[in-house]
Chain A
């Protein structure tokens, strides 16, 4: 405990000096500074992976070079393209439904005080609930097909949109609404010109979270509901113990999710470039 605390305090204390300290004077200094350390850690990690994966008695982990070759091969040959499009199509449909329904429902529950007191606990409960527990009945309710998957994605993503939209509507400065009213703004004009733009940052946060949830929901659907697309790609590699293909598929899927989240973040930032300074 004591050792950790000393380290922590020393580092916090060094904060103001950071700008001065970050200029690398010599190679060793650079290697121990931020990016050098980062690079070193990646190299060390990959080397450890390579060493561990190449040991003859280890079968569950393929060496890094094999996985990397496999990853290049599946991307360059286009073998991964079709499953990716399949999974993304499901994620996109579910996301669009979640966006439309979520914004409308969130707007209504945000505006109404009654809805806020009565529906908020339910929405929060649904937001934290593990939606995947409905997987066994989706076949009964919707069908074991693409529509069932889209429904699962929708359920996974929609509550993030609802919760953030209604939070955004509530964050609108009441003084602004007062002012708009006193200048004669009618209901729809108030919604469109005051409440919607002011809650937009929150809605966009909800939509960004929904992008991540939609992709994850689509992958769960492709693994657990009906095996297809990227889910089938992974499960087939796993069931034949083709570890380099399996690991390459996992790396690809995770990078795909990462890339889409980064894209969503960029879109959010560019849409919000006009935003008022208090949202910084």
Chain B
């Protein structure tokens, strides 16, 4: 994790531009080769078991033309409600747990237990509590993602250099300014990292919940597999994968923009 010494700014720009273009040439070549291998594999195995790249692209067009793809949009909208709930609950709880020993002592065992335990086991119970509708799916997404927000926020608060706070206090900074100018900036990269990891989990929660109650995207996935429309199935899987990767990448970008001083974070992961 040792940082390379900083060259002058102009030289960085020129150097990275060159390596950037080479990187993309390499990527295009290797990804092209993978797509060709996929195409050959798909044609050999036949549409009953797999779909080649061109068939999958055809499937994607069918999904878009028929409008089936918008089911995914609805699923994601519902997922976002659970995800936002996780953020709204998780960030304050994480801040409190990081800042107050008492809170941490009380909540830590539950949070740690839930974090490593298999949340999936709760599904049969949640379905009895909430039914099969919107509430159930929101709760699953919430439970899957909230602990990532809590634990990362807490880690962020606890990683703040206590000397910084001492210094601020010795300059008689009022509490709200210490919070705003020392604690919040120090915690922000961790909160964003937590939100990024939580997004992946939210997506997983969404898929598992919808597969189970067979609605929306889950129902579409099951239906396509049942009719052996593997071209459309693989297209849908690809779209979900790319959306997840793009969203994660976007949150990474926000993290780097909003907190450029924080390089690499050791974040709790599962």
Contacts and interface: CB of A to CB of B under 8 A. Distances in A.
B249 to A, nearest CB: 9
Interface of B: 1, 23, 26-27, 29-31, 34, 49, 92, 95-96, 98-102, 105-106, 109, 113-114, 116-125, 127-129, 157, 160, 162, 165-166, 169, 175-176, 178-180, 183, 199-200, 203-204, 206-208, 211-212, 221-222, 224-226, 228, 230, 233, 237, 240-242, 244-245, 248, 269-270
Interface of B is mostly: helix
A222 to B, nearest CB: 9
Contacts of A9: 99, 165, 169, 175, 178-179, 183
A130 interface: yes
A223 interface: yes
Given A4-B96, A12-B165, A136-B222, A37 B102 contact: yes
Contacts of B208: 130, 132, 220, 224
A8 B179 contact: yes
- State the 10 A-B residue pairs at the shortest beta-carbon distance, nearest first: A8-B99, A5-B179, A136-B225, A254-B117, A238-B124, A118-B30, A125-B245, A253-B121, A128-B200, A130-B207
A37 B107 CA distance: 10
A126 B23 CA distance: 20
Given A117-B23, A234-B124, 15 more contacts: A4-B96, A6-B175, A7-B96, A9-B179, A14-B101, A38-B106, A118-B29, A125-B242, A128-B203, A132-B204, A133-B221, A134-B237, A213-B270, A220-B120, A224-B208
A261 interface: yes
A254 B113 contact: yes
B204 A12 contact: no
Given A133-B221, A140-B228, A216 B120 contact: yes
A171 B266 CA distance: 14
A85 interface: no
A8 B49 contact: no
A219 interface: yes
A27 interface: no
